[in-house]
Amino acid sequence: MRRAWPSAPQQALNMAQPDAASLIEEHISELVEVWVKAVRSDQTIQSDSDLSEGGLIDHVPILLEEICSVLRSGERPCAENTHEARVHSYTRFRQGYRARDLVRETSLLRIIILDHLGKNLINGSNHSSMELFINASRTINLYIDEELRYAVSIYMESK
């Protein structure tokens, strides 16, 4: 019989991360602004050209709020707690966004959140702040991956 992988994400993620959640929550507008600039200036993304600023921002602030809520709960991101991420992908799908552009803009969002947390959480070689950053990054990565899993399904499977 195979033994379970000791660091399987399901078991490892059971610690609430309220500090990381607050750091994101207090800067949602700023993060969205940085993200909009990043998307607009990314030459590889073309689907955004027809969207107004409101259309581009879309559901992203609400998605960030949901990330904060998942961080606070300490739950592992899964279909049951990533509702707003699905709204983001679904809206892009309906807006005629190309799948690869959705992946790229979501990737930019991931980098912006992680950079923001890294800048604010990691103080020198403080071990606990490093641990906090790693745990929060893990949750955020799983959350974004959950959104992308859903995006792949709707882009590939729908008739």
Partner 1 sequence: MIVQDDFDQFVKNYNNDYFYLLTRASRGSYDCLITSFIVLKDLYDVVLKLHETTRLEYRIVPYPLTFRASEPFLKGLGFDDEQIQLIHGFLSHVRNTQGKEFEECIEEGVAFCATTGTKHGPT
Least Å from the CB of residue 91 to partner 1: 5
Tally Cβ neighbours within 10 Å of residue 152. 14
Stretch that binds partner 1, among 3-11, 50-58, 107-115, 137-145 (CB under 8 A): 50-58
- Cβ-in-10-Å burial (0-12, 13-18, 19+) of 136 comes to buried
Nearer to partner 1, 50 or 131 (CB): 50
Task: Name every residue whose Cβ is closer than 8 Å to that of residue 127 and which is 6 or more positions away in sequence.
Answer: none
Query: Using CB under 8 A, which of the segments 17-25, 41-49, 91-99, 116-124 binds partner 1?
Result: 91-99
Q: Is 53 in the site for partner 1 (CB under 8 A)?
A: no
| Site map 12..31 versus partner 1, x via CB under 8 A | --------------------
159 contacts partner 1 (rule: CB under 8 A): yes
Residue 104 near partner 1 by CB under 8 A: no
Q: How far apart are CA 30 and CA 24, in angstroms?
A: 10
Positive or negative, the CA dihedral 119, 68, 6, 3 is negative
- Smallest gap from Cβ 95 to partner 1, in A, equals 7
Q: Is 125 exposed, middle or buried (0-12, 13-18, 19+ CB in 10 A)?
A: exposed
What are the residues binding partner 1 (CB under 8 A)? 54-55, 58-59, 62, 65, 79-80, 83-84, 86-87, 90-91, 93-95, 153-154, 157-159
